């Protein structure tokens, strides 16, 4: 009995630390124009000591290769003014799709904002060796690792699942 409990506890701890876990993309058909829509909720980046950022995405078949990132800052309410990605040394300034930052308290303090992107950028994340996300707030910048030599993150694997679902609908 004791061995079983120890084994179950260790398995739970290992699963909680796994970066490949997370929700699957939601794939649905639009009632408006019958276009396929793929969306994945934001998943945490490496969540270092300076806070935790997250990244989600949405694609609508009727918008071609255009898509949206949902950039999230967990653990506090903060205005997200701008966001950048550094993909293997190439810095990409993301264009805000929302004027204001959304705040949610259902699962703790969460701030999120949509940014315009394209499927090529999301695909580049899934193939990159190094990706970092940076947001600008009224109090400065915050940044978090999506993937690099120190490891990957739930956000990285979420983008892989997202792109697999997009490819499956085309």
Look at residue 141 and tell me if it is in a domain.
Answer: yes
Mean pLDDT of the chain: 88
Look at residue 148 and tell me if it is in a domain.
Answer: yes
- The reported pLDDT for the residue numbered 48 is 73
pTM: 0.85
Look at residue 112 and tell me if it is in a domain.
Answer: yes
Place of tokens 């396929």: 36
* Residues lower than pLDDT 70 in the chain: 1-19, 49-50
Domain that holds residue 32: 25-169
- Look at the chain and report how many structural domains it folds into: 1
């Amino acid at each position: 009995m004791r061995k079983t409990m120890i084994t179950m506890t260790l398995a739970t701890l290992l699963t909680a630390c796994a970066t490949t876990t997370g929700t699957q993309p939601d794939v649905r058909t639009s009632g408006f124009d019958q276009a396929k829509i793929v969306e994945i909720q934001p998943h945490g980046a490496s969540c270092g000591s300076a806070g935790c950022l997250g990244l989600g995405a949405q694609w609508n078949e009727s918008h071609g290769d255009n898509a949206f990132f949902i950039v999230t800052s967990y653990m506090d309410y903060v205005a997200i003014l701008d966001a950048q990605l550094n993909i293997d040394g190439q810095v990409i300034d993301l264009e805000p799709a929302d004027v204001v930052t959304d705040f949610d308290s259902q699962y703790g303090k969460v701030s999120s904002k949509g940014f315009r992107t394209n499927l090529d950028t999301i695909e580049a994340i899934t193939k990159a060796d190094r990706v970092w996300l940076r947001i600008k707030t009224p109090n400065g910048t915050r940044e978090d690792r999506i993937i690099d030599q120190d490891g990957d993150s739930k956000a990285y694997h979420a983008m892989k699942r997202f792109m697999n679902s997009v490819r499956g609908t085309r």
